[in-house]
A and B are shown apart, each in its own frame.
Chain A
Amino acid sequence: MSLVELDDLDRRILDLLGEDARLSNRSIARRLGLVEGTIRARIKRLQQRRLLRFTAITDNRQHGRPTLAFIGIRNDTGRTRELAATIAEIDEVRSVIITLGRFNLLAVGLFPTLESLIELANNRILVLPGVTQVETSVVVKSIKYNERMAKIGFSVDTGAPVDADADAELDSDDDEDEDQSED
């Protein structure tokens, strides 16, 4: 089904990085009984294929505890992609998913206040040409969120931010033979 094929070594590297993303290439190599260059090459390949991305996640308390909300949008079907691109440009909107079934579009966003969510829904989304209905639901409590699973590669260029710094990351990794967090 999937075009992506990872072998056992890729998976073992991803498992170790899942436990500690700053584990050095040298430590990974030692644990797997391989040489460091192999690990570096594998990680680089995973990054280039947009299957792996190293980033830092900050707790939302560092951002003034914004409200997480789901915004379900119904629209004239022919305008879905154009609307998705427009809504993706809104800063507070963290993700935009084109859906089949319950909505045409599902946007997930972080909002400083409830008022700002309602303002966005009513005055900036509902008014867009083709939008027929906007439904908001506010997250009261998050029970589970696995941010290790994400969308990194984008198949269609929609103008959304597409990990433009991945190559820069690779470059900066390139000349590193030193451990990430070890001294």
Chain B
Amino acid sequence: MVADGAVYQFDDVDRAIVALLKDNGRITNRDIARKLNITRATVGTRIARMTSTGALRVVAATDFAAYGYDVLLAIGVEVHGRPAEDVARELALLPEVFAVHLVTGARELEILVAAHDFGELSNGVIDGIAGIPGIRSIDVGIAADIVKYQFDVGISR
């Protein structure tokens, strides 16, 4: 990934390729070339450039259910006596914690957690989170239903 100052900006051709890839991440270079009336080599070069600069990632996203994650939690974490980012990095090491954000507001961190079932939560997941030094309290929201979930805009890291 490149430094911020050198962010590669898409041009119209890039954007057209990206639109096709968002629709179907496995469309072939040949089909992209045909649809956009450009050469296959151009498609290959453009995709390579966008991905190597970190501006584009083609992903195979799997539904939570594919790995048996039936329980999702949105947890606000209150940190005390330790830099929030240190706590965040420790939380990020836990495999069941799939998102960790430093936020403004009443609590320092917002995290998203996936578990296979409620038994797993009580048998370790919540203890694993709450046991991290610097966490004063957690405020747990259990996802009863996900109504909308778009994820095609990534987060700069």
Contacts and interface: CB of A to CB of B under 8 A. Distances in A.
Given A57-B151, A58-B56, A60-B154, A138 B100 contact: no
A148 B58 contact: no
Interface residues of B, number: 79
Interface string B90-106: 01100001111111111
B7 interface: yes
A59 B104 contact: no
A57 B152 contact: yes
A88 B147 contact: yes
A110 to B, nearest CB: 6
A144 B148 contact: no
Given A54-B60, A95-B149, A144 B29 contact: no
Contacts of A96: 146-148
Nearest to B24: A169
Contacts of A84: 145, 147
Given A144-B99, A145-B99, A94 B153 contact: yes
A183 B40 contact: yes
Contacts of A31: none
Contacts of A2: 65, 68, 70, 116
A58 B153 contact: yes
B41 to A, nearest CB: 8
Interface residues of A, number: 82
Contacts of B56: 56-59
A160 B104 contact: no
Interface in B123-157: 139-157
Interface of B: 4, 7, 9-10, 18, 21-31, 40-41, 44, 47, 54-70, 72, 74, 76, 85, 88-89, 91-92, 97-107, 110, 114, 116-117, 139-157
Interface of A: 1-4, 6, 14, 17-18, 21-22, 46, 50-63, 65-66, 68, 70, 72, 84-85, 88, 93-103, 106, 110, 135-156, 158, 160-161, 165, 168-169, 172-173, 176, 178-181, 183
